[in-house]
């Protein structure tokens, strides 16, 4: 790391810039409670941090994105490291098989084929111009999946939390770790990825899941334990009993997703990439760039319109912690990039649970 030139008490401009950047890095480390095992690793992370800060500031000066970037918990990671750790938890979907078995129905169809399935046509409503389930108190704060490809579980559990709140008025933080440890159905791979729909079907089969307090998140799969810890909490309260799991129909329709989100939050797949790494709380509406290769699960918790710019947007809950984006949420442009939507948000059918009715 550069210091004052030998024989001079006044640093040159480059040295002064390095010292300012180093001080900024130390303040960032303190804020994020970051430490490194040795000086070599710290030096490497400083260089990564400096490179990222320069990229953030250069991109914001250019102003070509339409939204702002900023430093966050991921600023000491390269784009390759970020992608490897936080993207890729959504595996290939088999919903096309279910589609062929279910046949054509209006707006949504049952994904599990159980005897207690309901007629999706009865769920039809005229969607309002804007919906925000977060402001309505039906969405828990954003959580962090950590270095585990469990986005599919976080998205599924978030829809169960919202379903329960909308049905009962009670917002409960539920356990992602229970699903991560105990869902071994349909070849799910824990931290290596899975499908939101399959997580929901497992929760349905178990008549709900326990709370986060009962079974806290560890950001790792505990499948090495012969029996998941759910067996030690059978008497614990379970929340989120559902009658069925629905898929948005048809895929490729933002209108269909709008109708579903007007009813309750919906888990969807998107293509996440390094462009999202530094989206921060001063950002506007995310407009890409991104493709449609689905690799990350998120939850659409509302939609609206920026009347100043005339841009429609989705309100999306992510699982990269509250330090990312707008307290862990972000706005994605709605009605963009053809039939798949921005980042492929409607390329595959979104999923959501329907609450069990006792009467």
Kindly list the catalytic residues.
151, 296, 318
In Å, how far are 133, 255, 312 from 307, measured between CA atoms? 20, 20, 8
**CA-CA distance, 9 to 28, in Å (whole number)?**
28
- Beta strand 131-132 with 351-355 is unpaired
Q: Residues of 117-139 as b/e, b for ≥16 C-beta within 10 angstroms?
A: beebeeeeeebeeebebbeeebb
Nearest-angstrom CA–CA distance, 213 and 83: 30
DSSP one-letter code for 92: -
3-state secondary structure of 351: strand
Q: Which residue has 């609206």 as its token pair?
A: 304
Name the phi and psi angles at 326, rounded to 5. Answer: -100, 80
Find out whether 327 and 281 touch, Cβ atoms under 8 Å: yes
Question: What is the rounded CA–CA span in Å between residue 166 and residue 264?
Answer: 8
Residue 285 near residue 306 (C-beta atoms within 8 A): yes
* Cα four-point dihedral sign 141, 325, 149, 159: positive
Residue 102 vs residues 98, 186, 354, 355: alpha-carbon distances, Å: 6, 19, 17, 21
Looking at residue 346, what DSSP letter applies? T
Unique residue bearing structure tokens 């009865």: 122
């Amino acid at each position: 790391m550069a210091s004052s030139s030998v024989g001079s008490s006044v640093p040159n401009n480059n040295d002064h810039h390095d010292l300012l950047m180093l001080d900024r890095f130390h303040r960032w480390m303190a804020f994020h409670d970051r430490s490194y095992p040795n000086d070599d690793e710290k030096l490497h992370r400083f260089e990564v941090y400096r490179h990222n800060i320069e990229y953030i500031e250069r991109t914001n000066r250019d102003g070509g994105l339409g939204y702002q970037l900023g430093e966050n918990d991921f600023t000491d990671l390269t784009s390759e490291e970020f992608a490897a750790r936080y993207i890729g938890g959504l595996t290939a979907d088999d919903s096309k098989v279910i589609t062929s078995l279910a046949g054509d129905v209006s707006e949504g169809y049952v994904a599990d084929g159980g005897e207690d399935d309901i007629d999706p046509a009865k769920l039809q409503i005229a969607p309002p111009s804007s919906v925000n389930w977060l402001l309505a108190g039906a969405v828990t704060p954003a959580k962090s999946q950590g270095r585990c490809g469990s986005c599919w579980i976080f998205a599924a559990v978030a829809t169960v939390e919202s379903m329960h709140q909308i049905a009962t008025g009670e917002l409960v933080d539920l356990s992602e770790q229970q699903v991560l440890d105990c869902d071994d159905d349909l070849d799910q791979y824990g931290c290596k990825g899975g499908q939101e729909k399959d997580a929901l079907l497992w929760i349905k089969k178990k008549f709900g899941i326990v709370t986060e307090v009962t079974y806290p998140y560890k950001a790792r799969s505990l499948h090495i334990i012969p029996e998941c810890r759910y067996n030690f909490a059978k008497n614990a309260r379970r929340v989120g009993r559902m009658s069925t799991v629905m898929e948005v129909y048809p895929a490729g329709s933002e209108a269909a997703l709008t109708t579903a989100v007007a009813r309750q939050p919906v888990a969807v797949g998107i293509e996440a990439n390094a462009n999202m790494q530094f989206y921060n709380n001063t950002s506007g509406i995310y407009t890409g760039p991104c493709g449609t290769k689905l690799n990350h699960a998120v939850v659409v918790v509302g939609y609206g319109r920026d009347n100043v710019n005339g841009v429609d947007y989705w309100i999306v809950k992510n699982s990269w912690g509250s330090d990312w984006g707008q307290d862990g949420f972000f706005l994605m442009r709605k009605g963009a990039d053809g039939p798949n939507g921005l980042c492929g948000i409607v390329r595959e059918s979104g999923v959501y649970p329907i609450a069990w009715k006792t009467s």
